[in-house]
Structure 1
Amino acid sequence: MSQWKQVQQLDIKFLEQVDYFYDDNFPMEIRQVLAGWIESQDWDMASNHESMASVLFSNLLTQLERQCTQESNFLQRHNLKRIHQQLQGKYKGNPLHMAAVISNCLREERRILSTASMQEQGPLEKSMQNSVAFERQKNLDSRVAIIRSSVQMMDQAVKYLEDMQDDFDFRFKTLQSRDPAERNTLYMKQEVTTLQDMLNGLDFKRKEILTKMTDVIKEIDALMSSQLTPELMDWKRRQQIACIGGPLLTGLDQLQYWFTLTAQSLFQMKRQLDKLGELILKVTYDSDPIPLQKPQMEEQVKRLIYHLIKSSFVVEKQPCMPTHPQKPLIIKTQVQFTTKVRLLVKLPEVDYQLKVKTTFDKDLPPGRVNRQFFILTNNTKVMDVEESSNGCLSVEFRHLQLKERKYINGPKGNEGPLTVTEELHSLSFEAQLSIQGLNIDLETCSLPLVVISNVSQLPGGWASVMWYNLLTDEPKNLSFFSNPPRAGWSQLSEVLSWQFSTFAGRGLTREQLSMLGDKLLGQQSSHGDCQVSWSKFCKENIPGKPFSFWMWLDSILELIKKHLLPVWIDGYIMGFVSKETERALLKEKEPGTFLLRFSESHLGGITFTWVEQAENGEAKFNSVEPYTKSRLSALPFADIIRDYKVISDGNVPENPLKFLYPDIPKDEAFGKHYNSQQSKGNQTGGGPLKITFLLPSAATPPPSSSPEPPMSPGMFDMLNQHLDPFEIETAVSFSVLREAASSPSVESAHKTWPI
């Protein structure tokens, strides 16, 4: 079933979430009419390669044009043409943005499907979708609009004050120009009285304006401290969660709207105060409130502008290698990575002025890390206006590279208590802004980075990125892994499910997460309140195994992504189940019932077990040696299920796999994933058995004085090239029979090999 069809079958509460992010990002009509084509493209890769994004953008428009010509409904055809024009206008100049938008939408669909399969939202999901947030944002919209309106009304008040002062100034100068002999006349006395009344009115109006301005300044100050700053912090926290597979990150455009309107209000008030300063140069008097209050108010406005603009300098896109778009914050030395910063205050006089400089590990204390790096490529760029989006001011560094600093007689790397993937680094961004007489030093930094020198360190690095961003919202806590906190299983399990929905297209069910909890924490009725240490998750080996829990799980993710994706997405892999549970599930089932589970003894292996009925009527269980990525690279897993054979006592090859647990006919489950060409061993005419698994009877083994090990897959490949089919089958049969002869029991003889 396609991903879009799965989405359409969701409950209404999940469909509302889908509607929300499509409304702001991409036309849902296009998602509907081009569902299959969209899901077949690699949008993750395209979002980091401009040439690929351009090709996909062109193909998208072509697909849409074809759909328009085939559409018989007039209204629908009209809407598709309109959307075609809108897409051209919005993304023609920036196809990378379109690819990123579609990639994010598909990922968000997978995450929502994962959440739905868990039957209830996890704690992180709930915190990211707090129902109070919408009301909070509506309130912020209202407050910003009221402040903006108040400031604009003060413009009118200042203009009215200026007119009043001009009238007073004119009449006062006219009076001064009169003949001194007329000063004691009744007319002159009346004129002086009028001027005094006008001055009183002028003084009242000045005090009124200053009082209103003081109130608005206090309101802006309160708005920034109680709402704007918390909203920005909330966005940054949601960015952390989105980096590790959580809900799609939205809201930056909304933040820019609030920041920009607030900044416009503050700059307008600064101009109003400047205007008041000009007015007192013409008319002032004893107890004039403007020279008494204006300096303090100016300092307050400047302080608010300074803090607002400094906080509006943010990392919109965390550092990420284009080769691993879904694993940000991991940088490999001498491999290109990208990052993007943005100014949330949109003012025309700021455009094309900001030069941003990047620095790696700026002001890092000596000895804090064992390895030191420097940016190999150009680290300075000028911010530009994004015409294709909302006109924001931003700069994207697309070609940054790191190189390790080598010291001839200096400290050697990797000698401290932390491993390479626990060592955290930071990328800083700096710029200097001069605007309306204010000089503002801008600085922000990325979330902590993990720097690796070999791709084999990627799993460990990703574990560190997940752990950090799950458990802290401190952006500069680079010593985090000196004493890493524990993670609650309820939070950690949610993040693990996100990994499967992000990388494998289907998240984990509550039952699968419970099985993982048993694996990591031991069997318990509930793991919800359990705490997991960093060491237990990633550093300590699983008891009796040469690898950690995370290495085991990450290898399964890789196996699914490269070799099992269609079967996994269909939900046919039970996956995380122990041998004991497996037998309990199969015990009462029909002979030939089998289930698929991931190997507990191999890294990145999948096996299947089927049940048979022994001669004494008891259930007998047969398992195959786990299939790893090296063995699955030659043949699709569904074809292995279809063509699997054992040779019975009568030397007749047969497929023992009948029903996928609990009772789904094998062909019904896997049929759509079969290759059209079956293996020759499954055809008539006596062709070679390309995939033959042999299970001899242990009851009457042939005599053998020197048992030999069973034939390996490599040996079979060699025989396959040089012997005819009959010779191959005979060689394999004798090889496995020799294993049976050396086996102490039937159970031990059930180990089989794919050939």
Structure 2
Amino acid sequence: MCRPVGGKMSLWSLVSALPPEHVSGLYGEFPGSLRGLLADWLENQPWEFLTGTDAFCTSAANALLSAMVEKLRSLTGGNRQPCQVLQHINNLENTFRRDPLRLVGIVKGILEGERAALLKQDRHLPLSFHRRQEELKFGLDLQRLQHRVGEIQALQERWKQMAEGIRACRQPNLQESPLKTEGKLQGNDLPALLLGTVKELEGAKVQVLNRLHIWKRQQQLAGNGAVFEENLAPLQKRCESLVDIYFQLQQLVAAAGGELGSDLLSRLLERLNAVLSALVESSFLVEKQPPQVLKTQTKFQASVRFLLGPRLLQASTKPQLVKADMVTEKQARELALGGSGTPLSESTGEIVHNTVALETNSASAASSATFKNMLLKKIKRCERKGSESVTEEKCAVLFSTDVTLGSGSQTFHLQALSLPIVVIVHGNQDNNAKATVLWDNAFSEPGRVPFVVAERVPWEKMCETLNLRFMAEVQTSKGLLPEHYFFLAQKIFNTSTASPEDFHNRSVSWAQFNKEILPGRGFTFWQWFDGVLDLTKRCLKSYWSDRLIIGFISKQYVSKLLGAAPDGTFLLRFSDSEIGGITIAHVIRGKDGSGQVENIQPFSAKDLHIRSLGDRIRDLVQLRNLYPDKPKDQAFGSHYNKEQMGKDGRGYVSTAIKMTVESERDQLRLSQVPPEGVPPPAQGQIFDFLGPSPEQANPVQMLPPDMRPAGYPTPMVLPPFHENIPATDPFHSPPTLLPVPVGTTAPALPLCSDSPFSSPPLAQNLLPWMPPGLGDLSPEPHDEEMPEIPPCSLSSLFLPCETLLPPPLLHRGVGVNVDLPSEEEIDRLLQDAQMEEGAQPCGFPGDPMANSSW
């Protein structure tokens, strides 16, 4: 098994896992046991970059041999055998001390052989190995540069001493010969040595610039979720080391100016200044990027860093100000073509709080400017190409400053461009803007023209991008599987007949990714995938990490998987038809043994916040085993929430929400049975529009039709009961009755306040026939509650307006037409009823009959 070493993968740990025959013959004069003792240390030395036999290589080889011996001596303690270690030390000293370059060649051959064996087995090496190799090469090149500077200084010192010695001798006849001889030595060696050193400095500069480009590229990939080593301290040390060598070489070239000649001197100084300019301009970069999806009128932050600031701005007394401006894609291209010294002509947007001082932190030795409260007030849109939408338009923030070095002889205009930004003005643009940013971050090439990106990319690269984004958004170590990629390929390419191998060499376009609507849907591929990301991140992280969700699988393939499974087998998949939904597919078997796969209505994030997925699965008794055969309690037991039992701390009895799912058979059966407590309709039922008697009253009857139980009988409208009423009488027109369920009657007419039915239902039943003027009984068209109507006597209601009731006055159980009674008849009837039931007279306040004797 491979083991990580210091956060990196050891080459020796990978080699140890190979079969012995793959590395046989590599370890001859350098035994395999010694290779194992020096495993990690050996790989962290620049053996492979020591080429040549000059003084520097010989000196470096001697230093490596001495370091190896010291490393072995430090290993004599512990559990290792001292005798074996001492024997290795003696062999090294006796064999390689006189020829250390031979040791370098042997170790180099071993390391190259091990890499070849690994490449033959795994076809790739860990990324940490390549990064370590680059660091070793730069470190050795820096040592060589320092060695060259030392040689130049020694050569100039020798010439200086020789010149002084000649002047001291004061022998005119001997002066010319030594000067000519030494002049030939200097003329042949010093210019060549200076030219060679400047060339090596330019090579080291290229390495630093490449490393800075790699850092920027990794920063961009981090926008999609890639791991990013954002520490800039190692890169700052590299830049500072090269600047130190630049200043030393500049002094050495200036000191040898008279002997070099004006032409060579100017060329060397020009090349040195070009190295300095490149290092200074490249070391000004965006350390913390602004949001790549930026909404107007929203505050955001960013920071820039000047790696050479602590070294070059120490003597500066004037504070350096950094300004932030918004630029379009066209302006970014113009700046790239014109070079870093080209100033910006016009900002394309208005940014508030866009100027900050460049400050040096003495504790961290970092020079940076942090923008904490920037706000984009508005943006100027440019003309878009073809069908390009506003969320495909890219811009950037340009950070710029002017720095003066030393005594003011050199001034640099520094600029740093942020990653591409999509500016939105509304939250509903966020999804499409994220797609533009994702595509640009994943598929842009280093050194491109801003912000050109490919229109088509290989499907395999798209799979890597989707997996990276998924793992980063969900914060899980469990990524997508090959079967998931197969489903996603079928979805984005709109095919269900291709095999997984058919997609290996296919490419996907930007239009397929987020412009073309999926067949039969109202959204694009990315909009659907982003909905899955959001749902999983918010509600399903633990389920996905435990591999309880298949997720990316089609409904047709689910039917194949569950077709032969036992009753109650289920699985979880992301909804095809809804954005951000997950559904449960389970098997139901009929009495004849035939199986049917049912898909429960998808759950959204809102649903799962009300009741979690695990608790919903526990609620459904028809779910038994997670596909293929894992009991659901065993699979989801750790995801169940503890149900509150008994009373809570305040003395209340606890309640819980439970989920149920009815099959089609259950729904059909329930639809044919009336709800419990509701009597079946009787044939020939006579309806009373004034309501039922108290013994007939049923609470279900009082509910509006849309609030009655699902199985309650459908309402019916009674036909008119009268034919003898003149059509010309406006108050005797046929009533329009509200729908009443079959088998029920309307509320009964109350007699007084002691009646079980209060007067407000009476007023509400009389509303369809109330004449104008009784506004106090009419419902108001707002949400305030109706004021309670005080108890009343029927005489006070009916005597002022005899047309209040319609002509067909229906008594309980009687459906006959009668003439409208007179006032005397009504009084007599009321008195009889009052004396029979023992009721007390009542009425409205101020009613003249309220206090009269009955």
What is the TM-score when the length of structure 1 is the normalising length?
A: 0.65
Residue of 409, 428, 441 corresponding to 1:469: 441
CA distance in 2, matches of 1:703, 1:314: 70
Shift of 1:445: 0.9
CA distance in 2, matches of 1:228, 1:315: 17
Change (3 A) 1:453 1:18: farther
What code does the residue aligned with 1:332 have?
K
Residue of 252, 270, 295 corresponding to 1:272: 252
Residue of 418, 425, 429 corresponding to 2:395: 425
Aligned to 1:624: 600
Change (3 A) 1:592 1:703: closer
Is the Cα–Cα contact under 8 Å of residues 459 and 504 in structure 2 kept in the other structure? yes
Question: Is the aligned partner of 1:697 residue 2:665?
Answer: yes
Is the Cα–Cα contact under 8 Å of residues 421 and 451 in structure 1 kept in the other structure? yes
Shift of 1:678: 5.8
CA distance in 1, matches of 2:6, 2:549: 28
Q: Secondary structure at the match of 1:216?
A: helix
Question: Is the aligned partner of 1:310 residue 2:281?
Answer: yes
Residue of 565, 574, 587 corresponding to 1:589: 565
Structure 1, gaps ≥5 residues long: 1-10, 22-122, 176-190, 281-287, 321-328, 645-654, 707-722, 740-755
CA distance in 2, matches of 1:299, 1:689: 79
Change (3 A) 1:583 1:16: farther
Aligned to 1:735: 710
CA distance in 2, matches of 1:679, 1:643: 16
Q: Secondary structure at the match of 1:602?
A: coil
Aligned to 2:367: 393
CA distance in 1, matches of 2:421, 2:427: 15
Question: Is the aligned partner of 1:603 residue 2:542?
Answer: no
Change (3 A) 1:413 1:194: closer
CA distance in 1, matches of 2:352, 2:391: 23
Question: How far does the alpha carbon of each residue in 1:128-149 deviate from its partner, in whole angstroms, 9 at most, with x for none?
Answer: 9285443343222211221122
Question: How far does the alpha carbon of each residue in 1:2-53 deviate from its partner, in whole angstroms, 9 at most, with x for none?
Answer: xxxxxxxxx636x4595579xxxxxxxxxxxxxxxxxxxxxxxxxxxxxxxx
Aligned length: 548
CA distance in 2, matches of 1:517, 1:126: 26
Change (3 A) 1:377 1:156: farther
Is the Cα–Cα contact under 8 Å of residues 340 and 397 in structure 1 kept in the other structure? yes
Change (3 A) 1:316 1:736: farther
More helix by share: 1
CA distance in 2, matches of 1:679, 1:689: 13
Is the Cα–Cα contact under 8 Å of residues 313 and 344 in structure 1 kept in the other structure? yes
Shift of 1:606: 0.7
Aligned to 2:215: 235
Question: How far does the alpha carbon of each residue in 1:449-488 deviate from its partner, in whole angstroms, 9 at most, with x for none?
Answer: 111112222221111111112222256745647xx51121
What code does the residue aligned with 1:672 have?
S
The residue correspondences of 1:257-268 to structure 2 (distance < 5 A) are 257-268=237-248
The residue correspondences of 1:286-301 to structure 2 (distance < 5 A) are 288-291=259-262, 293-301=264-272
Question: Is the aligned partner of 1:193 residue 2:163?
Answer: no
Change (3 A) 1:628 1:372: farther
What code does the residue aligned with 1:149 have?
H
Question: Is the aligned partner of 1:134 residue 2:132?
Answer: yes
Shift of 1:679: 8.9
CA distance in 1, matches of 2:630, 2:376: 52
CA distance in 2, matches of 1:333, 1:318: 17
Larger radius of gyration: 2
Shift of 1:569: 1.9
Residue of 187, 196, 209 corresponding to 2:190: 209
Highest RCO, 1 vs 2 (Cα 8 Å, sep ≥ 6): 1
Shift of 1:502: 0.6
Question: Is the aligned partner of 1:337 residue 2:287?
Answer: no
Is the Cα–Cα contact under 8 Å of residues 581 and 604 in structure 2 kept in the other structure? yes
CA distance in 2, matches of 1:677, 1:415: 58
Structure 2, gaps ≥5 residues long: 11-121, 335-345, 647-652, 675-697, 715-854
Shift of 1:533: 1.1
Q: Secondary structure at the match of 1:670?
A: helix
Aligned to 1:658: 624
Question: Is the aligned partner of 1:377 residue 2:352?
Answer: yes
What code does the residue aligned with 1:401 have?
L
What code does the residue aligned with 1:667 have?
D
Shift of 1:603: 1.0
CA distance in 2, matches of 1:366, 1:232: 20
CA distance in 1, matches of 2:654, 2:251: 93
What code does the residue aligned with 1:268 have?
Q
What code does the residue aligned with 1:246 have?
A
CA distance in 2, matches of 1:688, 1:134: 58
Aligned to 1:501: 471
Residue of 340, 343, 350 corresponding to 2:313: 350
Aligned to 1:62: none
Shift of 1:576: 1.0
The residue correspondences of 1:1-20 to structure 2 (distance < 5 A) are 12=2, 15=4, 18-19=7-8
Question: Is the aligned partner of 1:544 residue 2:544?
Answer: no
Shift of 1:290: 4.5
Is the Cα–Cα contact under 8 Å of residues 672 and 711 in structure 2 kept in the other structure? no
Is the Cα–Cα contact under 8 Å of residues 604 and 628 in structure 1 kept in the other structure? yes
CA distance in 2, matches of 1:240, 1:686: 51
What code does the residue aligned with 1:300 have?
R
CA distance in 1, matches of 2:137, 2:332: 47
> What percentage of aligned pairs have identical amino acids?
26
What code does the residue aligned with 1:624 have?
I
Give me the CA root mean square deviation. 3.9
What code does the residue aligned with 1:142 have?
L
What code does the residue aligned with 2:665 have?
S
CA distance in 1, matches of 2:607, 2:711: 19
CA distance in 2, matches of 1:686, 1:268: 80
Is the Cα–Cα contact under 8 Å of residues 643 and 679 in structure 1 kept in the other structure? no
Change (3 A) 1:156 1:372: closer
What code does the residue aligned with 1:309 have?
V
Question: How far does the alpha carbon of each residue in 1:59-116 deviate from its partner, in whole angstroms, 9 at most, with x for none?
Answer: xxxxxxxxxxxxxxxxxxxxxxxxxxxxxxxxxxxxxxxxxxxxxxxxxxxxxxxxxx
Question: Is the aligned partner of 1:448 residue 2:424?
Answer: no
